[in-house]
Amino acid sequence: MKIGNKILIVLFIILVIANIIYADTNKEIKTENIDEFIEIKNDEFKDISDDDFKTVTENSIQAEEKNSFIKMIVDNNIIILIIGIILGFLSFILKLKKIRYLFLLSSLIFLGFYIGGCNCSVGAVMKFFYYLIYEHDKLLITSLLILIPVVSTIFFGRIFCGYVCPIGALQEFAAIRDKLIKIDPKTEKVLKILRIFLIVFLIIISIIKHDLIYSKIFPFKTIFNLNGNLIQIIIAVLILIISMFVYRPFCRFLCPLAIVLETAGRFSIVKIKKDKLSCGTCNLCQKKCLMNSIDKNCSIDNGTCIRCGECTTCFKNK
C-alpha cells in the first residue's frame, strides 16, 4: 500500500472519530462563573469603585460571548465540515478515487442520518435572506455554513459537493450506474435557468409569508430524519427514484448552494485542464463525466465539476 493511501486512511479514521465526538456534543459549554464578590464583606464594598464593577461585567460578557461562539461552532459541525473538505482535497490530489466513496459514506451516515442533515450549507442559502430580514441573531452561523463551501471552492473547486455533502452522497449511492440517462446539454441549461427562477420564487414567498417554505418541502430533511408529512414524503420518494436514473438531479437542477458554487468554481485556483500532449480524440473523459462538465472539445467547466476524479486519467491538475 502506498504511503499516500495509508495517510488518507488514517486521516479518514480521524474524521470518523471526530464526527462521533462532535455529533454527541449536546451539552452546553460551561461558562466560568466570576465570583469575585462572594468573599467580600459588606463594609468592603465601599472600597470597590464603579469602574471595577464595569470591568468585571465586561469580562463576564466577553467570556460568555466566546463560549457561545465555540458552542455554535461545535453544535453546527463547522469543524467537521472544514476537516472533511481538507481531506477530500488531499484524496483528490493523490487521485484516490475509491477513498472518495468512504468520505461520502461517512457523510451520509453522520451528517445525514445520525445528525439529521441539519444544519446544512444547502438550506443555509435559503435561510440567509430570511434571517437577513427577520432573525439577525442567526445570520452569523448561516453565513459561516455558506462561506466555508464557497471559500474552499475558490481554492480547491467543488470538493464540498463531491466529498462532504450528505445530500450529494445519498444521490450518489442511489444512482444505478449502467441505467443512468445522459441529459442533453441544452436541456440541462434550460433546467438550470428554471432552477434560478424557482429558488428566487421560494425566497420571495418565504419573506412575504414570514415562513421558511423551503424547509417545509425540503425532501432530504424527511429522508434523513425518517419523518415528514405526506407532501414531503412524496417529494422525497420522487427525488430518490429520479436519482436512480439521473445522476445527482437535485445537485444539478434544484440545489440553491450549487448556484453559488458554480460561479465560485469557475474562479478556483486548482483547475482541471486538458493535457494537450497526451489527449487524443477518444472523448472518453466526456463519457465518464456524469455531471456533464466536459464538452465535445474536452474542455472542462470547473464550475460544475465536483472533483470526482473520473477524468483525471486524461486530464492533469493545474
**DSSP string computed for 160-177:** IIIII-HHHHHHHHH--G
* CA–CA dist 274, 282 (Å, integer): 13
Helix, strand, or coil (residue 115): coil
The residue among 291, 286, 288 whose CA lies nearest residue 305 is: 291
Please answer whether residues 85 and 152 qualify as being in contact, where contact means their C-beta atoms are separated by less than 8 angstroms: yes
Output the tens digit of pLDDT for each of the chain's 318 residues: 555 445 545 544 554 454 444 444 433 433 334 344 334 344 444 455 555 555 555 555 555 555 666 676 666 678 888 899 999 999 888 888 888 999 999 999 988 998 876 557 888 898 999 999 998 888 888 899 999 999 999 999 999 999 999 999 999 999 998 899 988 888 999 999 999 999 999 999 999 988 888 888 888 988 998 888 888 889 889 999 999 999 999 999 999 999 999 999 999 998 887 665 566 667 788 888 899 988 877 788 999 999 988 887 665 444
pLDDT for res 200? 93
Residue 316 β-bridge partners? 273
* CA–CA dist 198, 102 (Å, integer): 33
The residue among 148, 118, 150, 106 whose CA lies nearest residue 11 is: 106
90-96-102 Cα angle (round to 5): 90
Rounded to two decimals, the pTM is 0.77
pLDDT for res 24? 46
Per-domain boundaries in the chain: 3-24+73-317
pLDDT for res 39? 43
What sections of the chain are H helices per DSSP? Answer: 3-23, 50-75, 78-93, 97-107, 121-133, 139-156, 159, 166-174, 185-209, 213-217, 219-225, 230-245, 249-253, 256-265, 284-288
For the chain, the straight-line distance linking the first and the last C-alpha, in angstroms and rounded, comes to 26
pLDDT in tens, 186-232: 899 999 999 999 999 999 999 998 888 888 888 898 899 888 888 88
pLDDT for res 93? 87
Residue 273 β-bridge partners? 316
Please answer whether residues 218 and 202 qualify as being in contact, where contact means their C-beta atoms are separated by less than 8 angstroms: no
